Every structure is written in C-alpha cells, then in structure tokens.
Amino acid sequence: MCRVSGSLNGASQSLPDATQTQTKPLAPTPSASGITTRRGDFSTLPEALDYAAQGDTGFNFYSGRGDLLEALTYRDLARQGRECAQKLLALGLQKGDRVGIVAESDGDFARIFFGCQYAGLVAVPLPLPIAFGGREQYVATLHGMVQACGARALFVPEIIGSWTDDITAGLEGLLFGGRPAELIAMAAPAEGSVTLPTISPSDLSYLQFSSGSTRFPMGVSITQATAMANTRAIAQHGLQVRDAKRGDDRGVSWLPLYHDMGLVGFFLTPLVCQFTIDFLPTREFARRPHTWLELMSRNKASIAYSPSFGYDLCARRGARDPIDLSNWRVAGIGGDMIRPHILEQFADAFACRGFDRKAFVASYGMAETTLAISFAPLGHGIETDTVDLRVLESEQRATPPTSPEAMARTFVLCGQPLPDHEIEVRDPQGAVVEERKVGEIFVRGPSIMSGYFGKPEETAACLSPDGWLRTGDLGYFLRGQIVVTGRAKDLIIINGRNIWPQDLEWSAEHEIDGLRARDVAVFSVDRPREGGGVAEKVVALVQCRLSEPENRERLREETAGLFRRLHGVEVEVILVPPRSLPQTSSGKLTRARAKAMLQAGEFDEAPAPNPG
C-alpha cells in the first residue's frame, strides 16, 4: 500500500541545512553526454576526467530539500581541478603528500579531490561529525586519522568551518589547514612556476579509512590502477552501465563521500563512465529520506544504492509528493548485512509508484577491495537462502530446515566475483571448504588494496604475499554465489554454539513492536562467575523510548523472553537511551564501540526519556 508522509520530523544527528538562496534558477547537467561512452577503460583518474570533460554531463549538488545548489560539469571540474592542483603544489606540497578533505557532498570536495589527482597528491576523504558523540570525540577521531596518514594539508568545509581552529590545533607539519574557499581564492601561480607531474597507474590515488577506523585508524591505500580496475569492473559487469552518450543512465546518491560505497560507487564510477550523478547531503538523509526518492523521480534516475536502513526509513515514512520510480533499474543494496524483510516492505510500499522489486541488486565488498568484489545478477531481484539455525550454529553448515518447526535464518545471495577476481571460503586451517560449509572469506584480484598506509604489520596480517586478502567475514558458497553470514570478530561462542549477533538483533527488531533497525546491539562480555573466575555472557543493549517504568520493564522481559524462546540463549537486556548506540561514519551499528561503552560504565541502565 502506497503511503504519503505527512511529517518531516525525524531523529537524526544532523548538521544545519546548507541551502543557499539562488539569484536565478540553476539547471542540472543533462543525462546525455554527447560523446562516445567509455566504461572505465582508462589508466588513471585524471585521464578519465579529461575524457569526460569533452561531454556535457557532470555532478549536481542538491540541498536536503532537493534544491539545486551547484551544477558542475565534468568540463568545469577538469579545469577547476587543474587550477586547484597548481595552487596545492604552490603551497609547497610535493607529489605523494597526503591531503585530508573533510568530505561534504559539494563541489569543493570534487575540486580538491581531483586537484589532488592532477597534482599527484594523495587525497584522504575524512568523515563529517554525523555519527560521532559531539565535537570533542569527533575532533579526537579526526586527529587520529590525520596523524595516521601524515597529512600535510587539511580542508574543513564551510558547514563546520567554525570548528576549524579546534580541528587543526596541535596538528604538526600542516602546510595548510582551513576552508576550501581559502584555496580557491588564492591567486593562481605565475605562469610556468608550477608544473603538474605525470600521473602513472602505480601512483597512490587516495587513502580510504574504513568506516570503523576510530580508535586505531588504518587508511586503505588505493592506487590509480586499483581504482580504475574496480570502477571498470563495476561499470562493465556489476552495473552494466548503459550508453552515456544518449543519457540512458543517471544516478542519485546520498551516500557519504568519505565511505567507499559513496566515493567509488557514486563519485568515481559515474565519472569514468561519463554519466551524470545527483548528490544529496548525507547529513540530511535521515531527516528527509523522501527527497532521495523525489529527486530520482524528478530526474528519471536509474541507479541508486543504500544500506538496509535507508530503504527502511523510506518504507516507514513514504514520499511527500507523487513520484514515479519506474526508471530505477539498479536498486543496489550493500554496506551492511542485508535484511530481506526490509526490502520486501520497501517494494510493497512503492510498487504503485512504479518500483520493480526485480531492480534490487545485492552486492558484497569493502574498502580493502576498493569497493565491490561481487554483484548478484541484474534484473532478478533479491535471491535468498533459508537455513536451519541450529545446524548453522553447531556444525557451521548452511542446510535447509528439515521441518516447519525448525528455527530458521534467511540470508541473501550476493553474486559471483567480478571478472579477474576470486573468492574462496576457508576453514580455520586454511583449506577451501565445500558448498554450504561456513568459513572465512578470502578474496584476490586487481581491486585489492596495496596495504594499510604506514602499517606493514597490519597489512601482513590480512594480505598474503600472493595477493589473497583475509576479509574477516564469514560466509558460504551456494550455486556459485557468495553468501555473507557475518563478521568473524562479532561471532559469539556459547557452549559450543556459534551465535551470530545479527540473528538476535533482527529477531528483536522484527518481532517486538516499537523497535526499529539499529535499535539493538548484541555481543558477549565476561561476567564474574559465582565461586570465582569469569563466564561469557550475552548482552543486548536495546534503545528504549518508553517512559513508564512498567512499560520499560515489560520491554526488557519481552526481549529477554524472545531470545530465550526463539534462540535458546539467556541474554542480559540493558535498556539504553534513544540514539545512544554508536554507529560508524557510514551508518552501521558498531558492536565493538557499544561493548567498550558498556564496559566503561556508560550503559549501566537508561534513564527514562524526557517526555518533553
């Protein structure tokens, strides 16, 4: 049933809207490039941009309300990127130096990122403070990332420009620390005083901090060749990008440009295929998810991606205006564990708006593989596999349930590896296992990172001399497709059972009224045992919006009873305040941080929320 949202109120840690008043209406860049389509067959990103600059397409940057703030053609981006490159080098930066860019979704990020590419500098996209617990924690996290990569310049966008002094304070070795406007306002170097270097495929292009990189930041090193290998594979095989000359594809994205899915999937890939992409600010999405759908309808977009929680928000809130989603041929899902029931709810909610559930495309990847490693086949929708949960936990084998009464878990098939890439599932001894046997996932191919920047020991721990990357993910193969079951480090082992925290989280969020996606975090902790020693105990932190004591106690008992009844495990349920569970910069729940907060005494028990 289609629903139109009547409220824009949403709970999000959002920065102020940066909507600007326009003196005259802007026109977005067209969908048709007018030049022969090339799908990533370039050796470097500067080469790709120079080709795209011959056409008419580009980047469009919108406010959270859907107002166009800037239309930046690839032609203008190439010119402005070269100008930024000369100014960056005139600051005293040298080829190979790192440049931190706090990544607001705007034209300044694009200009400076590609200024780095032309100058042979290493761009380092950095997160905005959306997912952090305040200025102090954010600044400390940012300092850790800047110091880990040894950045010589740091750009702070206007939206948090008042924090610039706090952010740059104490950072040694910076040749520049300020706002993008300061660089852009600089006088151009004297003609002939700065020569842009030749960029080779082996040069570092950028560092990508994985979304969980907070306490011990590790930047993933991506070369020009690696970036091109992944964007080319995504374009040609994963998305099967259509003719940009005619404008057959157009994208819309709210994904953060400091995360691999936003940066590679919806910033670099459209450019290397010359198609137009429309950007919404990440910081506004949770408040106005309807704008994403409305912009797709308005501009007849065909490609857009989101983690599960984005589809969940849209399904719950609907759209404000009449929309037509019939052009949406690739509704990608990735960035976190895929929740099929959320996708079903989204498809049901928007079927009458032209959305085709066969547009859903599951994929698998991570920053260490640049972005993607596998895609499900296009045009088939979500394919699932339901397995016996008890057999999965006790034997690490994914077998269909033998009876209707059996506890079951449904997983999503994430496709075959991209061409020239390999995936193996291995047991703890390193042997490749058979189909339906769960093990750790290893991947190899031209998209694999060259290593963690400045971290040789950490690199050696996960990247073998022959190029195999140990992902830290668990999964199994089914009919040639990879199925991801969870992170190895999150696995809970109780009395010989392998318990996935996602199973308990999903059960609570799905079965208990009032709980939403990302409201529950499950992990194990050591608790004192009677008579001495410690015992492993499963804990669930549950975000509670109830104020009446009896209702709060009922929620606690219902949640604990659900875990006992459905999963046969005793769980200590702790109620925590709304919006208190920590998330990564890409919006994923971070159980490790939640556990650390509990152990630090931050989650002893939630006070009742203030009714006001």
What pLDDT is attached to residue 213?
A: 46
Locus of tokens 């009714």: 611
CA atoms within 13 A on the CB side of 10: 19
Locus of tokens 């088939």: 380
Q: Which overall architecture, per CATH, does domain 491-599 show?
A: 2-Layer Sandwich (3.30)
The crossing angle, in degrees rounded to 10, of helices 549-562 and 501-511 is 130
What pLDDT is attached to residue 16?
A: 43
Mean pLDDT of the chain, nearest integer? 90
At residue 477, does pLDDT exceed 60? yes
CA atoms within 13 A on the CB side of 609: 15
Among 226, 256, 206, 102, residue whose Cα is nearest residue 453: 206
At residue 320, does pLDDT exceed 70? yes
The pLDDT tens digits for 135-186 are 888 898 899 999 999 999 999 999 999 999 999 999 989 999 999 999 999 9
At residue 12, does pLDDT exceed 60? no
The crossing angle, in degrees rounded to 10, of helices 340-350 and 308-317 is 40
How far from chain centre, in Å, is Cα 25? 32
Rounded to whole angstroms, the Cα distance separating 585 from 211 reads: 5
Same-fold call for 45-275 versus 491-599: no
Q: Are strands 303-306 and 277-279 parallel, antiparallel or unpaired?
A: unpaired
* Domain positions in the chain: 45-275, 286-489, 491-599
Rounded to whole angstroms, the Cα distance separating 38 from 241 reads: 10
At residue 21, does pLDDT exceed 80? no
Rounded to whole angstroms, the Cα distance separating 140 from 425 reads: 37
| 337 vs 22, higher pLDDT | 337
Mean pLDDT, residues 567-583: 88
What pLDDT is attached to residue 530?
A: 64
Q: Are strands 534-543 and 520-528 parallel, antiparallel or unpaired?
A: antiparallel
The pLDDT tens digits for 239-269 are 999 999 999 999 999 999 999 999 999 999 9
Collapsing DSSP states into helix, strand and coil, what is residue 122? strand
Mean pLDDT, residues 226-233: 98
Q: Is 281 left (phi over 0), alpha (psi -120 to 50) or beta?
A: beta
CA atoms within 13 A on the CB side of 248: 13
| 286-489 CATH pick, 1.10.3720.10, 2.30.42.10, 3.40.50.12780, 3.30.9.10 | 3.40.50.12780
Handedness of CA 259, 260, 264, 265 (dihedral sign): negative
Any bridge partners for residue 154, and if so which?
Answer: 100, 177
| 45-275 CATH pick, 3.20.20.140, 3.40.50.12780, 3.40.50.300, 3.30.70.260 | 3.40.50.12780
> Please, which pLDDT band fits residue 606 given cuts at 50, 70 and 90?
very low
What pLDDT is attached to residue 212?
A: 52
How far from chain centre, in Å, is Cα 608? 32
Q: What is the percentage of the chain residues whose pLDDT exceeds 70? A: 91
Q: Count H helices, E strands: the chain? A: 18, 27
Among 340, 188, 206, residue whose Cα is nearest residue 263: 206
Rounded to whole angstroms, the Cα distance separating 137 from 124 reads: 20
